[in-house]
Amino acid sequence: MKFMKLGSKPDAFQTDGGGDSRYVLSELPSDIVIHVEEARFYLHKFPLLSKSSLLQRLIIEASQNGTDEVYIHDIPGGVKIFEICAKFCYGMVVTLNAYNVVAARCAAEFLGMTEDVDKSNLVFKIEVFLNSGIFRSWKDSIIALQTTDALLPWSEQLKLAARCIDSIASKATSNPCNVVWSYTYNRKSASSDEIVEARKNSQPVPKDWWVEDLCELDVDLYKRVMVAVKSRGRITSDVVGEALKAYASRWLPECFDAAAIDDDAYSMAYNHLLETIVWLLPSDKGSSCCSCRFFLKLLKVAVLIGSGEMLKEELMDRVILQLHKASVCDLLIPARPPALTTYDIQLVLTLVGRFMRRAGVTEDGIFLNNLDQEMFETNVDDESLLALSKIVDGYLAEVASDPNLSVSSFVAVATSMPDAARATHDGLYTAIDVFLKLHPNLPKAEKRKISSLMDVKKLSKEACIHAAQNDRLPLRVVVQVLFFEQLRAAAGGNNPPAAAASGGIARRLVEEEDDDDDDVGGGGGGDWSKSSALPTPTPSLLKKQLGSLKLAAAGDEGGGGDDGRRLARVSSVANQSSRLSLSSRSRRMFDRLWAGGKPPGGEVVSKSSDTSGSSQSPRSSAKPPASKSSSSSSRNRRYSVSRV
């Protein structure tokens, strides 16, 4: 830090015990008392009259009024700075530095200590120090600028703040290769207390070397400095973004408590800070000067403190350009009362909806060839949509644990992404499972509505294994999972997970048969609503039947001779099952559930008339010739499935 010493005489100022009175040790008694705020200075007229035009006038007026007391009001810097000026008048040693030089300059101007009164007066000496020392130092310029706020309006009238800002801006926009002053750089690989000097360090000076030192400025001064820096046109938008991110990290908290949010003064201060940061953002919204996480942090603060809609809209316009680069945690923005949910679901829906419209996707999930003219002309590729779908599914899994989340909100978030944007439905299945677990009392109709959001054909093998044993899923979905996993396993020659879950499904089929009467009869079709007078099947029998399904499907994929042996075993199981056959309604219900997940080929195989009308199981399964076509094999497999 630069400093300047003035005067040569030793400091002879003394303070009494109370601290309110100050006097000079001298053989001559004091002949004037100067009142500055609450302090009294017992001084001598001659040294003061030779340096200050204001004191000349005040002392003359006091003498004319027959008093030796003078009152000075509103002197810049107060008592401490007046003492510096008084010591200068006596020729005593005073030290000027970045912390007091601006106040001393303002006080010297206030007291009239100019060249018109005496040569080499205090104003002249301070100006020399400012130009040769303070304004040549990076950190001293910042410190001096910080002191100008308390010295208004004198610091503005004397253009001291503007001169400090100009000094800072000129250094910030200089070529980093020419940086010779010390600065603070705590980010990236630098240590927390590292001081870098370009000519003493072999590492190159980064372009954003200056941003951290400016973070200590008040928001209004910071705005003025950044405007001056940007106006010079030498700083890229990326560096400006780094500066704004550093300043926001310094002053914006990560979380807010309820008391702080309700405090109007607190909210107004943060709202002013937000408005300043957003106002300083580069005008090019499509630039990557700031990350999506940074914009979402600003948006989170704007929501919590209740900022205006214009500020939120500006941030949302910037967020949607990079929404696919966000993280789930970034989107977890708390909701303000009177919202019942923990997080602001509607805000996320709005962001995703705008992103979809910008990508040329309608609300129905239809891709358009041309974007609206009002949309930003930026490309949204398939990878961006896939990335966003993973983020939305992860977000949905997080908010699904909220007990106040409604089914309609859950469905709205899940359907905000088109089906084509989801390469896999594992993330969606996770969210559905969490929601069903935390909402165990949902009606069956709503459970089916939620479960129908996922496509079982897009589940991974691990997800299928989990879903096949998931008691929270509707039985229809579980059977569809088993069916498609069996087809996939048969095509790959692997054992499907159906055998592990078949016993549980059989028990659920028996337990839920009576509970599903209203659901099946209301929306499934006429056959499901008919009652049956035949005995109720046992879980062990249904387990055997589900096991025969696996054998039948595996048999269709094997060789000719092996097919005969496997189908013979299926026929044997069917003959044993005929004594304890399924009731007509149970068998048709199982057939309907199985038919709901027919293979992707879309082939529909009609049953024989006696199958749909009889309540008895077939006596045996006909062994198909080895030369049967694939379609015939499918019919035989379907026949054995529906008749077992």
Q: Are 352 and 323 contacting, i.e. CB atoms less than 8 angstroms apart?
A: yes
Q: Place 528 in a pLDDT band, splitting at 50, 70 and 90.
A: very low
pLDDT value of position 508: 52
Average pLDDT, stretch 467-486?
87
525: left (phi over 0), alpha (psi -120 to 50) or beta: left
Residues 134-184 have pLDDT tens digits of: 999 999 999 999 999 999 999 999 999 999 999 999 999 988 887 776 777
206: left (phi over 0), alpha (psi -120 to 50) or beta: beta
Token duo for residue 276: 């300043």
Q: Which has more confidence, 323 or 614? A: 323
Cα gap 294→275, rounded to integer Å: 14
Q: Are 141 and 168 contacting, i.e. CB atoms less than 8 angstroms apart?
A: yes
Q: Place 18 in a pLDDT band, splitting at 50, 70 and 90.
A: low
Per the DSSP assignment, residues forming a β-bridge with 408 are none
Q: Place 12 in a pLDDT band, splitting at 50, 70 and 90.
A: confident
Give the burial class of 253: count Cβ atoms within 10 A of its Cβ; 0-12 exposed, 13-18 middle, 19 or more buried. Answer: exposed
Q: Are 132 and 117 contacting, i.e. CB atoms less than 8 angstroms apart?
A: no
Q: Which CATH superfamily is domain 3-136 in?
A: Potassium Channel Kv1.1; Chain A (3.30.710.10)
End-to-end CA distance of the chain: 93
* Nearest residue to 644 (alpha-carbon basis) of 624, 623, 619: 619
Q: Are 281 and 244 contacting, i.e. CB atoms less than 8 angstroms apart?
A: yes
Q: Which of 37-46, 154-163, 289-298, 547-556 has the lowest mean pLDDT?
A: 547-556
Q: Place 605 in a pLDDT band, splitting at 50, 70 and 90.
A: very low
Give the burial class of 88: count Cβ atoms within 10 A of its Cβ; 0-12 exposed, 13-18 middle, 19 or more buried. Answer: buried
CA 571 to chain centre: 60
Q: Are 281 and 289 contacting, i.e. CB atoms less than 8 angstroms apart?
A: yes
Average pLDDT, stretch 80-92?
93
Q: Which has more confidence, 379 or 437? A: 437
Long-range contacts of the stretch 318-321 (C-beta < 8 A, 24+): 318/281, 318/285, 318/290, 319/292, 319/295, 319/351, 320/351, 320/354, 320/355, 320/358, 321/285, 321/286, 321/358, 321/376, 321/378
Average pLDDT, stretch 485-511?
59
Cα gap 626→633, rounded to integer Å: 10
Beta-carbon-side half-sphere exposure of residue 616 (alpha carbons within 13 Å): 7
Domain boundaries, the chain: 3-136, 236-321, 328-489
Average pLDDT, stretch 318-341?
91
Quick check: pTM over 0.75?
no
What mean pLDDT value characterizes the chain?
76
